[in-house]
Structure formats: structure tokens, C-alpha cells
Chains A and B, each alone.
Chain A
Amino acid sequence: MSAGTLVAWLKKPGDSVKRGDIIAEVETDKAAIEVEIFTSGVIEKLLVQPGEKVPVGTVLAIIREEGKAVEPGRLRISPSAKQLAAELGVDPASVRGTGPDGAISRADIEAVARRARDKGLETIGEEPVRPLAPSPAPLAPAAETAAKRQARMRQAIAAAMARSKREIPHYYLSTTIDMGRAMAWLSEKNRKRPIQSRLLYGVLLIKAVAVALREVPELNAVWKGNQAVQSQAIHVGVAISLRQGGLVAPALHDTDRQSLDQLMTNFLDLVKRARAGSLRSSELSDPTITVTSLGEQGVETVFGVIYPPQVALVGFGKMMDRPWVAEGKIVPRPIMTATLSADHRVSDGHRGGLFLAAVDRLLQDPSQL
């Protein structure tokens, strides 16, 4: 995702807003998203008009923080650019913004970081975001046909996947997991619950991946500016197929810290909103790893393509009753294959193997999850 078209403002100058509020709707190549804010205050100025297409990281509005007067010389920087500055070690105060009213964009931060590095060093990370340019002829999202939107999404997926295969040296590991204990535990848990509170086994898989990442944190990272930047938080992106075709992989924030019940509620909500086209901006930008499950399509093993700038993807295949040797006897067990696709610039097979072993171990005792 490199650009988006502002569809509508949900707030106007003078409105009070608080952290987490949705203030605008944006149409991107991959999905319609809701733009949330990360600070409380008062909307001072809207900088982009509905219909304008702008690069990711463009400052959309100025928000005056609560209790603070307007400061003429104050830095104007988007949360996304601020985060990037922290990741790349750039002091925003030293950056001259090229956006409206001198606002600092991701492109400005990247430009400074690039200049600071050795000249001629190839940037392998995310494609640089261009500075805010005079807006092109505005698109009218509502007038676009579903087919056009689908074609744009396909193009976005094509660009990301081609870049992934071009830049990321993938390696693949797989392991076979006996899901018998996990399914028995889940069945017992669900037996006592009303239908609205039952858990899907997919939630166990997501949580197992998140908890296993604590043991192999280098897989929970993004590749930025020619190096891996480990994320402190674990935000698992879950691949969700869309009804009109295509897919998105929005984040379940702080996945490892959510209970299974919270995860289930949030997962159902995420699927619903993904298919309704109302994901939030942070959900699309924050995943630190992706989980995809194609078992329901009958797939036995998934060899996934890593979604840049992430450095790993975990795939789960179909659960099938298979002959399995347990305590010296051949018994039928529900078996599933878990596969890790990982970036060899960032991790090695040994660490990847430890990660898959941790996923397996956690699924043998789901009460730990």
C-alpha cells in the first residue's frame, strides 16, 4: 500500500477528538480503511480534501493536543512518520518537512535517513514514499466499479508479492502437528459455552504463533532501511479472503497479550470489518508477521510469500485424520502441517525450527495459551 484516496472526513475543524476516534475514511489499493488517531485534542485544520489521492504517510490533518496552545514553530509530523523516525534513528526536529505547512512526512524521514547512510547503498526496504505532490485528478471512489477495485487490489498484491520474491531470500520449514489434544481441549471448552461464545481452532493457532514469537523474536520484525527492526509488540496479521476476490491481512494488535476469548471476539470483528471495507489504518500498517490458514480450502501445506516489510509468514494446512504413532501404537489423530516462510537475511533455519517447535509445544497444552 503506497497511496490512498480520501473518501470523506468524519470530523471538521473545531471538533474535539480523542485517541482511537475514527476521523476519516480512505480508499486504498487493498481496502477501504478508517483512519484513527493516536492523540486527543481538537482538529485544527484539514489538509487533504475528499477525492485527493495522497501517498502513505501524508499528514491529513493538524490536531492541537489537549491543553496546548497553537505553537507556530511546533513540529507537524504524522504518527506514521514519527514512528519511522524512531525506527531509523532520525531526529524529527532536524528534518525539514515538505508537506503542507511544513509537515514532515515519511518520505522526508526516509530521505534524511538515506542521506545519512553511505551514498550508493541500495535501499532494499519499503519503496520510498514520494513527497506530497500536486494532487492528481481526483478519483471518485464511489463511482468505481467493484471490478476496478478488484483489479487495483490485484495490482497491489502483485506489486507486493513480486517485490517480496525479488528482494527477500525466503527459506521454508514445515512441521507436522498432532492437534488431538488441542481439539479435545477446545471441544470440552466449547461444550460448556453458549454458541455465541465458542472458540474456533483458528484462534488457538493465532495465539500459539504469537506466544511462540516471544521465544524467537527476530521473526517478529520488519525490514527497514537495509536492516531488520524487531518489534516490541506482537501484532499478528491474519489473512482474510474477501468475497469479491483478493485478500487482506490486518493486524490483531498485541496478539500475545489477549486472552483466547478476546482474540475470538476481535478476530470475528476483524473478519466482519475486512469484508465490509471498514478496517482501520493501523490494522493494515501494523502487522509484524502474517498467519494464513488454507486448510478449509483443502490445502495440506502452505508455502507462503512473505508480505514486505515483514520477515516471516506462518501457514497452516488442512487438519486431517492420519495414522500416527503414539506410545508405540498406530492411532488415528487429527494432523496438521504448519509451515514457516522466513527471510534468510534476518533468521536462520535453526531459529525457525525452534519457532515451529514452540508452536507445536504450545498446541499440545492449549491451557497455556
Chain B
Amino acid sequence: MTPNLTTDEIKSLILRILGEIAPEADLASIKPDISFRDQLDIDSVDFLNFAIALHEELRVEIPEADYPKLATLNGCIEYLTAQRQTSQR
């Protein structure tokens, strides 16, 4: 488990991973409550790679059923924060 991360640090991590998956994306203009798929040119392969990278960086389990919770930036932050807290208990 990586050390405790602040919300801003989790956000930065998410954006970095997104930048690696979709290098052409303008990450500064991402709207936090709009689906990534509606803002970026990403497909199911990209999304799977995104989820794998989050899992590997943050050591959190992400069941397939929870993928919809990763659809937006705010959704991601909320979900990953909660999962990390659960894992630390």
C-alpha cells in the first residue's frame, strides 16, 4: 500500500495515468463530473489499462462491477479514496 495520499495527490495520479493512456488529451480542461469517455478519445482497451494502472499504483482492488464508478474524475477520486480507506482497516 502506498502511503496516505491527499485528494489532490490522488487527482494528480489519475490525471498522470490518463495522460499516459491518451497523450493527446488536454487534461487541464477535464470537467470533473463529466464522463471521461465523453471528453476523451478512449475506448474499452484504454479504460481497462486505466483501471489496471490505478490498481497497480494504489494497490486497491477494483471489481469489474465497480468500473462505472471510475467514469468521471470526481467519481474516481471518491471511489479510490473509499477503497484505500477500506483496505487500510
Decide: B52 and A244 in contact? CB cutoff 8 A: no
In the complex, what residues of B have CB within 8 A of residue A191's CB?
63-65
Q: A268 to B49: give the CA distance in the assembly, Å.
A: 9
Contact string, B23-37, partner A, CB cutoff 8 A, digits 1/0? Answer: 110000000000001
Q: Are B23 and A187 in contact (CB-based, < 8 A)?
A: no
Interface assignment of A200: CB less than 8 Å from any CB of chain B: yes
Q: How many residues from A make CB contacts under 8 Å with B?
A: 15
A296 to B22, CA, bound (A): 16
- Binding site of B, secondary structure by majority: helix, strand, loop or mixed? helix
Measured between beta carbons, the chain A residues less than 8 angstroms from B51 are: 195
Which residues of A have CB within 8 Å of B44? 200, 202, 296
Q: A243-B41, A296-B44 are in contact. Are A187 and B64 (CB under 8 A)?
A: yes
B45 pairs with A200, CB closer than 8 A:
yes
Cβ-based interface call for B43 (8 A) = yes
| A226 interface residue per 8 A CB criterion | no
Of A191, A198, A241, which is in contact with the most chain B CB atoms at under 10 Å from its CB? A198
* A49 interface residue per 8 A CB criterion: no
Taking the closest CB of chain B, its distance from the CB of A295, in whole angstroms, is 9
B10 within 8 A of A: no
Q: Which residues of B contact A198 (CB under 8 A)?
A: 48, 64
**A271 sits at the interface (CB 8 A):** yes
Give Cα distance in the complex from A198 to B64, angstroms: 9
Contact residues in A for B48 (Cβ distance below 8 Å): 198, 200, 268
Instruction: Pick the contact of A196: B52, B61, B65 (CB < 8 A).
Output: B52
A262 in the interface (beta carbon within 8 A): no
- Evaluate contact between A243 and B22: CB separation under 8 angstroms: yes
The yes or no answer to B55 lying at the interface (CB within 8 A) is: yes
Distance in angstroms from A256 CB to nearest chain B CB is 21
The distance in angstroms between the C-alpha atoms of A113 and B64, with both chains bound, is 55
* Residue B62 lies at the interface, judged by CB distance under 8 Å to chain A: yes
Contacts of A244 in B (CB 8 A): 24
**Which of A190, A241, A243, A244 is the most central at the interface, judged by chain B CB atoms within 10 Å of its CB?**
A243
A295, closest chain B residue (CB)? B44
Shortest CB-to-CB span from A146 to chain B, Å, is 10
Give per-residue flags for A197-212: 1 if the beta carbon is below 8 A from chain B beta carbons, else 0. Answer: 0101010000000000
CA distance A267 to B44 in the complex (A): 12
- In chain A between 255 and 301, which residues have their CB closer than 8 angstroms to a CB of chain B? 267-268, 271, 296
Cβ–Cβ < 8 Å partners of B63 in chain A = 191
| A243, B23: Cβ atoms closer than 8 Å | yes
- CB atoms of A195 and B41 under 8 A apart: no
State A115–B65 Cα separation when bound (angstroms).
62
Instruction: Give every chain B residue within 8 A of A268 (Cβ-Cβ).
Output: 45, 48-49
How distant is the Cα of A195 from the Cα of B62 in the complex, in angstroms?
A: 7
Residue numbers in A under 8 Å from B64 (CB-CB): 187, 190-191, 198
Chain A residues contacting B23 (CB-CB under 8 Å) are 243
A175 to B47, CA, bound (A): 28
Asked whether B45 lies within 8 Å of A195 as measured between CB atoms, the reply is no
A195 interface neighbour in B22, B24, B37, B55, Cβ under 8 Å: B55
Q: Which residues of B contact A241 (CB under 8 A)?
A: 41, 43
**Chain A residues near B55 (CB, 8 Å)?**
195
Check B43–A243 contact: CB distance below 8 A. no
A243 to B45, CA, bound (A): 13
Asked if A296 and B43 sit within 8 Å, CB to CB, the answer is yes
- Roughly how many angstroms separate A200 CA and B43 CA in the complex, as a whole number? 11
Q: What chain A residues lie within 8 Å of B45 (beta carbons)?
A: 200, 267-268, 271
Most chain A C-beta atoms within 10 Å of own C-beta, residue among B24, B41, B48, B61: B48
Whole-angstrom CA separation of A190 from B63 in the bound complex: 9
Question: How far does the alpha carbon of A200 sit from the alpha carbon of B64 in the complex, in Å?
Answer: 11
A residues within 8 A CB of B41? 241, 243
Interface residues of chain B, those whose CB is within 8 Å of chain A, are 22-24, 37, 41, 43-45, 48-49, 51-52, 55, 61-65
Interface CB pairs A-B, < 8 A, 9:
A187-B64, A187-B65, A190-B64, A198-B48, A198-B64, A241-B43, A243-B41, A267-B45, A296-B37
Smallest CB-CB A-B distances: 3 pairs: A190-B64, A271-B45, A195-B55
